[in-house]
Amino acid sequence: MNSPRIAILGGGITGLSAAYYLLREAREQGFTPQLTLLEADRRLGGKIDTERTDGFVMEKGPDSFLERKPSAKQLVVDLGLEKELVRNQTGQAYILHRGRLTPIPEGAVMGIPTRLSPFVTTRLFSPAAKLRAAADLILPRGNYDDDVSVGHFFRRRLGDEVVDHLIEPLLSGIYAGNIDHLSLQATFPQFAAIEEKYRSLILGMKRTRSPQANGGKPQGAFLTLKNGLQSLVDALDNALPPGSMRTGIRVKEVKKEANGYHLLTDYSETIAADIVIVTLPQPEVDLLFPRYDFLKAHHSSPATSVANVILAYNAEDARLEMDGTGFVVPRREPTTITACTWTHQKWPHTTPAGKALIRCYVGRSGDEAIVDESDETIVGTVRQDINQIMGITDKPLFTRVTRWKKAMPQYTPGHAEWVAQVRAGSREHLPGIFWAGASYSGVGIPDCIDQGKHAAHDALAFLQR
């Protein structure tokens, strides 16, 4: 086989994973392609960005990944970093309810009750709401001819109050979205499958819980690396051929040619490729491929902007009255922050002795204006919220504000059908173009790694054909 020219657009975790697994699989097949990865930013890693200062390990983007989705842990193992893995500490998680931190009921799985006593005794819901949620035990299966929203699904099964007070803040935070506008099939299809199999969501979740969850010692569900997730990016960079990763180069357009594709860059350079793996956000795709209507998003909901706010303290200045790992905030609460992690308790390795590290989040679908404010305004607003909620009044040692503009794609109903349309249209009109990344089939680190790995495999299969 001649050495094919393969371009990967985007140097986030999706593009880096695609490059790593493409080269590995190609070498197993006996050839080495000419690989070029192009990243517009000056750094690799996308939303993964770790700062290490004075013994603090601070994540400006995601801080961990789910172990039950195996691709991220497998990549860590493949890169020889398994000794660096750290599991989160478990502890009580809270919901902000009427201005006070209220424990999430024991046995609630993603907000779905699986134990009777904690649900009956919690202050989160009125007696009428508890009775309404119990109706799930007798309600028939839903009949959904079309994709529905996450909110529609859960409101039908458990009622509005349980959704608004518990399920919404737990689920919407993953996408910084509004669950009444998020596609069930594209975000949480497992719940539809449980309803289909067991009819009752409560009974189904109870039967599918792990033995550990039903009484064993709790174990953290998340993993990270001792020196931060940036270690994963650095290891991928080091594992790839020198010179194959090109940063600070933005592709302006991808043109289809008789013998492949031409990538036009903002430096008036043209890069030829036989295959292109695109891992960029969907709005950028519209600019790269302006002539292909099937690529355009099926909805008008723009990606959401969010900001991550880190506050470091001396431990005595940030004493918490409760033990735990943090809390989430329902939309109905009159605060700006949407969630808060007590990082020094959830990830003790990130914080030097005698210090405390708190991470707050602001911005969500329909409520993003704060993200455009100055650092001083954002920090001041966050400090006001944590003062009211946790009674922390002292000035932090230092703060960090990281904005992620239009970084959280919103999977509205019909999203899965749109992704299928993009892939089918590409096979017909853009053969050799492959799509992966948070705009398509999942926003978490494991989801993005999976997509990069699958795109690499599909690209090599295309070459073989």
pLDDT digits (tens, 9 = 90+) for 24-76: 999 999 999 999 999 999 999 999 999 999 999 999 999 999 999 999 999 99
Q: How far is CA 216 from CA 94, 117, 211, in A?
A: 21, 18, 7
The DSSP secondary structure of 241-283, one letter per residue, reads PTTSEEES--EEEEEEETTEEEEEETTS-EEEESEEEE-S-HH
Helix axes 230-239, 13-28, angle to 10 degrees: 40
Q: Give me the residue spans of the domains in the chain.
A: 5-47+233-300+411-464, 105-212, 304-408
Specify the pLDDT at position 208.
86
Specify the pLDDT at position 327.
97
CA distance 133 to 148: 20
pLDDT digits (tens, 9 = 90+) for 247-282: 999 999 999 999 999 999 998 999 999 999 999 999
CA distance 158 to 111: 10
Share of the chain above pLDDT 70, in %: 97
CB neighbour list of residue 281: distance below 8 Å, 6 or more residues apart:
303, 406, 407, 409, 437, 438, 439
Specify the pLDDT at position 320.
86
Specify the pLDDT at position 210.
64
- Output Rg (C-alpha) for the chain, integer angstroms: 23
Answer whether residue 211 shows pLDDT above 80.
no
In CATH terms, the fold of domain 105-212 is: protoporphyrinogen ix oxidase, domain 3 (1.10.3110)
**CATH number of 5-47+233-300+411-464, picked from 3.50.50.60, 3.40.50.1370, 1.20.1250.20, 3.30.428.10:** 3.50.50.60
pLDDT digits (tens, 9 = 90+) for 345-384: 999 999 999 999 999 999 998 899 999 999 999 999 999 9
Specify the pLDDT at position 297.
76
Q: What value does the mean pLDDT take over residues 89-96?
A: 93
Q: What value does the mean pLDDT take over residues 223-236?
A: 98
pLDDT category at 322 given cuts 50, 70, 90 is: confident
Instruction: Describe the strand order of the beta sheet including 304-314 as a list of residue ranges.
Output: 100-103, 93-97, 326-328, 337-342, 355-362, 304-314, 398-408
Specify the pLDDT at position 283.
87
CA distance 64 to 86: 9
Answer whether residue 1 shows pLDDT above 60.
no
Answer whether residue 213 shows pLDDT above 60.
no
Specify the pLDDT at position 217.
61
Specify the pLDDT at position 422.
95
pLDDT digits (tens, 9 = 90+) for 40-52: 999 999 999 999 9
Which two structure tokens, joined as six digits, stand for 227? 């020196």
Residue 273 in contact with residue 36, Cβ under 8 Å? Answer: yes
In CATH terms, the fold of domain 304-408 is: Polyamine Oxidase; Chain A, domain 2 (3.90.660)
Answer whether residue 219 shows pLDDT above 90.
no
In 3D, which of 86, 62, 96 has the Cα closest to residue 322? 96
The mean predicted confidence, pLDDT, of the chain is: 94
CB neighbour list of residue 330: distance below 8 Å, 6 or more residues apart:
95, 96, 97, 164, 165, 166, 168, 169
pLDDT category at 174 given cuts 50, 70, 90 is: confident
Specify the pLDDT at position 5.
97
